[in-house]
Amino acid sequence: MVLDALAFPLRRDNAVFLALGMALCSIPPAVAMLLPNLPYVGLMATLVECVVLCYVLVYFHSVMEASTRGDERLPMWPDEADLQNLAGQAFHVIVPFVLSFLPLIVFVVQWVFRKGTWEMTPGALAAAGGLFAFGFLYLPMALLVFSFYGELGVVNVVAVARSIARIGRDYFVVSGLLMALFLLHGAAAGAVAAARLPSLLLIPAGSLLFFYAMLVAMRAVGRLYAQHKERLGWER
C-alpha cells in the first residue's frame, strides 16, 4: 500500500497532473517575485494563492475519493468556477484536519495564554509531541469518516476508534506514512531553502514537494478504505 501510494503520482498517466499541480501552485509566488514593483502585487498574489490553495484542497479530496472507489488514475481537475462555492468546499475539506489536531491546537493556545510565551518546558513539549502524533493517528479515519458521514461523524471518537480497530495494522501504517510525509516534506523544504537555489528554481521545487506529498497521502488514505471496505461495512 505504501509503495503504491509513493509511486502513484509518478505513473505515466498521473505525472502530467503532478507537473500541472506544481505549475499551478508556483504561479502566485512567481508573479510576486518577478513583478515586485507593481501596485498591490503582494496583496493580489496572496489572494490568488488563497484561491489556488482552495482549488488544490478540493482536488486532493477528490483524489482520495477516487482511490476509495479503486480508480487507478488521478481524477480530472474540479470544474468549480464560483469562488464562493470553491471556498465553501475547501472549508469542508479542512474540517477533518482541524478536528484531528484540535487537542494540540487547544493545548498550544492555552499554554501561550497562560504563560505568555511560545517556549515550552520539556514536559509540555513531550505532551505537545504526543498530541501531534495523536493527530496523525486520527487523521486518516477522520478524512474517510468525513467523506461518508460529514462533520458529526468525525467527532464520534468511539465510532472512529472501532473503525480503526476493524482495519488493524494497515491503518497504523498509513497513519505513520502521513506523519512521515509531513516531517520529510518539512525537512526537504528546509534543505531546498538552505541550498540557496535561484528563486525561479526554489518556488517550483517547493510546489512540487507539496503537491507530491499530498497526492501520496490522499492516495494512501483512499486505498486504505478500498482494501478494507468490507470490514468497515459503511456501504451496506
pLDDT at res. 39: 60
* 153 close to 146: Cβ distance less than 8 angstroms: yes
- Cβ contact 102:132 at 8 Å: no
- Model confidence at 32, pLDDT cuts 50, 70, 90, reads low
Residue spans per domain, the chain: 2-232
* DSSP codes joined into one string, 150-183: -HHHHT-HHHHHHHHHHHTHHHHHHHHHHHHHHH
User: pLDDT grade, residue 126 (50/70/90)?
Assistant: very high
Res. 38: pLDDT tops 70: no
Task: Give the C-alpha separation, 109 to 93, whole Å.
Answer: 23
DSSP states of 87-125 as a string?
Answer: HHHHHHHHHHHHHHTHHHHHHHHHHHHHHSSS---HHHH
Instruction: Decide if 28 contacts 55 (C-beta within 8 A).
Output: no
Q: What is the pLDDT of residues 201-211, one digit of tens each?
A: 777 888 888 89
What would the pLDDT profile of 72-108 be if each residue is shown by its tens digit? Answer: 889 998 886 677 788 888 888 888 999 999 999 999 9
| The predicted structure's pLDDT at residue 42 | 63
pTM of the model: 0.86
